[in-house]
Structure 1
Amino acid sequence: MEMTWPPPFRSRHNPFTTDIDYSMTNPLSSSGSDFPCKGYHRLLDTAQGGSVVEWEAGQSYGLTLGGSATHNGGSCQASLSYDRGQTWTVIHSYIGNCPLKPTWEFSLPHDTPSGSALFAWSWFNNIGNREMYMNCAHVTISGYESAAEIQERARPPGAPFYGRPALFVANVGNGCSTLEGADVEFPQPGPDVDYATSRSAPPQGSCGAFSALKKRSAKVFRA
């Protein structure tokens, strides 16, 4: 499976692509050597790495997925990075049934920083080899202060964007893995979560403390 909108780096759907990756539907290397973004985050601001969409803080949008090998779904996340892929902030988690439909909706917190960012879709498949999939696109956010301006002053406790968790990472040689046949329950899914699972399980190994956050402030949809 792959993200088709917003169009990722080196995707055939990306108008800036000159060197198409015909294996966009492949998972990340199990060694973690191409985490994040299959290594394509390095194309940011190059000729192949232009911004493909402009979004406004506080508004709702959708990401689109394509492909046919859905591996019985699984769990996905949408996240943003403002430091060229070094750190990621989760804006929405989808536990179960992902990616069994083409479009997945999310909302940007009203204090999402303005400026250039990396947007990522990541997926942990339900059945098959224990894998992590991740595609990334260059996006532009408007409507709020820039990340630099925000850093110049103290952020209020519980700020909607900066109070969100980091991207969940597993199955890439980092000591954390997911259980086959179950939709992974993210240790920290964040406040915006969709549930559509008949069987879920926490990750295995060194993944951080399992959180009960999923039981609070979440939209719950169970299959």
Structure 2
Amino acid sequence: MLLLGGAHGHMVMNSPAPYNLDIQPLLQVDPISGGLYPYPCHNRYGFTHRTPVEAGGATLVHFTGGSQHGGGSCQFSITYDEPINGEDWNKSASFKTIYSIIGGCPAVFTDESHNLATVAVDANNRQDSKHCGNDSGIDCIRQFMIPIPKFLKNGPATFAWTWFNKLGNKEMYMNCAPIEITDKNLPNIFVANYPNDPEVTNCITGTRADNVVVNFPEPGKYGRILQDPVEPVKKPSGYCTQIPPAQSLPTFEPDPTLVATPMGKAGLVTTILAPPAEDTTSPVLGHSANDPITESAEATTAVPPLTRSPPPRIISSSVTTTIVQSSNIDLGVNPTPATTPTPVPTPAAAGTGAIAKRPNSKAVACPSHGSLVCLDDNTFGLCDRGWVMPQRVAAGTECKEGKIVKRSGGKLVKRDDILP
């Protein structure tokens, strides 16, 4: 009896604000059914405002409830198929999953046979229990940060939470919330030095004689400073008063599309795009260049010294940037552990000359400088300081024992005849 609880004690999503949370007919905590609470969304669609969410951002989900049924598994989804002009929900509305939580939703218990104690009731007499304030607490109601895919189109939509309880009657719970999907909040570009157009407000950043480096009034959250801002010594008439003082440098956030961890002395951190994962497969080993990449690759690249004037600011050459690329998509909610880097094969000692740095990901280690290497019957290359670039043999020929020969008669074919 303690486990099952009353209908008034079940779970309900309270944020983002669902349809009819505080509007009659009130959203109930019951599971969906073919009777009073039909699929989808209990057929509730009353609201006074939509919760704004950013495509590419995330929304925090909270719950109210006293009967957690041992937890369970949850999904979060979005649909653009909403009721129009007060009509009922269409049962064929398409809800697309954006995030799934298997187990532990919305709570985990030390003693699953007992629901959490009721500690409060909401304004509509729905029971509530202790809250964790995070997504990992025990014996409390958890909350979850749910990512909103950046490719979703702008406009009105519905965010849905569905829950399959772990213990007790096997049921499906569903609450839906009206949301407004928007682009990330980006400032307008700075417009100046654009005269003779009455439809556009104009100001100037300086005169022809001024040496200026503009300090943008609204630079946005992401960017880099490669030179210090410089103002005119004497601000001319019509100067853009919205430009901040040169000493008021913006503080940029780390670019979420880049993965960079600086090490060493403090200074300006320069981030660079992660390169494609190194392909260490080789025709000699029987692998294909099209084999799927399933592991993370890590490389360390030294950041060169950077000077700028005036005044000079130097990045120490000891600063390094660690770049991690993974074939998995990280939504920024649960960190993906790094894997051990895949070693690059070391070529055998070259016959003449120093061993060169691997020219690119397709190069294969070779033993003797200047020799023709058969990687297989159809692929060859010329060993150049420890590395060979695979090339296809010409039609009607094959590579055998360090020579290019005709497939039919075995006559030697000059290498110059088949090189591109």
Report if TM-score (shorter chain) is over 0.5: yes
The structural deviation recorded for 1:82 is 0.5
Tell me the residue number matched to 1:143.
183
CA–CA distance in structure 2, aligned partners of residues 79 and 92 of structure 1: 7
The structure 1 segments of at least 4 consecutive aligned residues displaced by more than 3 Å after TM superposition are 30-33, 216-221
Does the 8 Å contact 2:18/2:175 carry over to 1? yes
Report Cα offsets for 1:46-83 as digits up to 9, x if no partner. Answer: xx334331111001221111101000000001110011
Does the 8 Å contact 1:37/1:135 carry over to 2? yes
CA–CA distance in structure 1, aligned partners of residues 16 and 175 of structure 2: 10
Establish whether residue 91 from structure 1 lines up as the match of residue 98 from structure 2.
yes
Does the 8 Å contact 2:16/2:59 carry over to 1? no
CA–CA distance in structure 2, aligned partners of residues 61 and 69 of structure 1: 24
CA–CA distance in structure 2, aligned partners of residues 97 and 25 of structure 1: 19
Tell me the TM-score normalised to structure 2 length: 0.31
Tell me the TM-score normalised to structure 1 length: 0.56
CA–CA distance in structure 2, aligned partners of residues 20 and 83 of structure 1: 21
The structural deviation recorded for 1:33 is 6.7
The DSSP-based 3-state class of the residue aligned with 1:54 is strand
Question: 1:11 is matched with which residue: 4, 21, 33?
Answer: 21
- Higher strand proportion, which one? 1
* Aligned residue pair count: 138
Tell me the residue number matched to 1:187.
none
Identity across the alignment (%): 33
CA–CA distance in structure 2, aligned partners of residues 131 and 31 of structure 1: 14
Q: How large is the Cα RMSD of the aligned pairs? A: 2.5
Mark the structure with the bigger radius of gyration. 2
CA–CA distance in structure 2, aligned partners of residues 220 and 93 of structure 1: 16
Does the 8 Å contact 1:30/1:131 carry over to 2? no
CA–CA distance in structure 1, aligned partners of residues 176 and 48 of structure 2: 12
Q: 1:94 to 1:128 in 2, by over 3 A?
A: same
CA–CA distance in structure 2, aligned partners of residues 115 and 121 of structure 1: 19
CA–CA distance in structure 2, aligned partners of residues 129 and 78 of structure 1: 22
Aligned letter for 1:38?
H
The DSSP-based 3-state class of the residue aligned with 2:43 is helix
Tell me the residue number matched to 1:58.
56
Counting only pairs closer than 5 Å after superposition, residues 174-189 of structure 1 correspond to structure 2 as none
Counting only pairs closer than 5 Å after superposition, residues 114-193 of structure 1 correspond to structure 2 as 114-143=154-183
CA–CA distance in structure 2, aligned partners of residues 79 and 130 of structure 1: 21
